[in-house]
Homo-oligomer: A and B are copies of this chain.
């Protein structure tokens, strides 16, 4: 590893400040708005939901990322998603961005906005604007401010998610940090949550966008909680170049170093989100090896962690391997069940349960011991090629139903 994990998040890289506020948008007794700000202009990259029904803020941010103009800030609110809100929704994005322009003297079209929460409800614009005004006075370059921002963007999340790493490029110390939220309405299709990454690296925009897109495929796009791809999924990466390295303009060793660090940060946040899925009691991982193609490996592993029946079996610590094979079978990938080996794995052991078309009689007590761990892996050797992939999800519990049967109230 050419990087080191450090304590921190979105404020770890040079020149990034953050803050949060209780704006009373929908939640009554907690912070519900956050801002990330860089006075130095940032090169930005982003990936967004593939859902046809895109929230107003997603359309707003895509325009900024596509424009090639610099980004200075991201304003996020939790509680209301600003999706399915028509013209009024777009007006809310603009009002928020203009409030930042007024308070912090950066162009309004350099301000990204992001929302998460209930769909189909209008944002209270006055509260948003007031929130921005208050936040513009409390920006801080500190770990504490970053953590508070990560907490303000949570909805049904039970833990906040942040991480940071440092690495060296041509003698310069580079820092990359990030935060994310996401717990329900999570399903691989870019990127099933809100994520914000900041770095002081100096790198060309197109190259950064390419790195982000590639890394997302094997990290954020490999998690699922409930199969529901949100209207609001957004991942934004801001790079202000303050580390002082010569700009990376080609896919050299420096680029690879950055990409490796980016992969680590994205994978860290993605796994945290999967394990904190709504109502989840454990992290459920599927590793598929020796598939015919990378696409097949991804499809198969995601189908396993995405199946309600598999998820319920994981919750019940039931080594009911047929459900995992069934999910692989309807995933869309083609394979021969007579090639497949399937194992259950955890810190408590490893057990082969299916061997090339035939079930293996196994010791139920041993299986139960393995399944009872906090993180359970289904390991599948396809024996049909050389492509591997890993997907992450969580179990399906009573609490998932409870949380979602009455989400609005």
Binding site for B on A (CB under 8 A): 50-54, 81, 83-88, 118-122, 184-185, 187, 189, 226-231, 306-309, 312-313, 315-316, 318, 320-323, 325-331, 333-335, 337-338, 353-354, 357-359, 396-398, 400-402, 404-409
Contacts of A326 in B (CB 8 A): 51, 53, 83, 119, 185, 228-231
Contacts of A189 in B (CB 8 A): 330
Contacts of A120 in B (CB 8 A): 320-322, 325, 353-354, 359
Contacts of A84 in B (CB 8 A): 321-322, 325, 337, 354, 357-359
Whether A359 contacts B121 in the complex (CB less than 8 A), given A318-B408, A330-B51, comes out as: yes
Question: What's the nearest-Cβ distance from chain B to residue A87, in Å?
Answer: 8
Whether A359 contacts B122 in the complex (CB less than 8 A), given A53-B325, A86-B338, comes out as: yes
Contacts of A405 in B (CB 8 A): 312-313, 315-316, 318, 396
Task: Give the number of copies in the complex.
Answer: 2
Contacts of A315 in B (CB 8 A): 401, 405
Main secondary structure of the interface of A (DSSP, over half): loop
B52 lies within 8 A of A316 (CB): no
Chain B, Cβ-Cβ closest to A409? B318
Could you give 24 example pairs across A and B, Cβ below 8 Å? A51-B330, A52-B329, A52-B330, A52-B331, A83-B325, A83-B326, A84-B325, A84-B337, A84-B358, A86-B358, A87-B357, A88-B358, A119-B321, A119-B322, A120-B321, A120-B354, A228-B307, A228-B327, A309-B404, A312-B400, A312-B407, A316-B407, A320-B407, A396-B404
Chain B, Cβ-Cβ closest to A353? B120
B85 lies within 8 A of A359 (CB): yes
Question: What's the nearest-Cβ distance from chain B to residue A384, in Å?
Answer: 12
Whether A335 contacts B88 in the complex (CB less than 8 A), given A185-B326, A228-B309, A407-B313, comes out as: no
B226 lies within 8 A of A308 (CB): yes
B404 lies within 8 A of A308 (CB): yes
Q: How far is the CA of A51 from the CA of B318 in the complex (A)?
A: 22
Contacts of A51 in B (CB 8 A): 326, 329-330
Contacts of A312 in B (CB 8 A): 400-401, 404-405, 407
Q: How far is the CA of A329 from the CA of B52 in the complex (A)?
A: 4
Contacts of A409 in B (CB 8 A): 318
Contacts of A334 in B (CB 8 A): 52
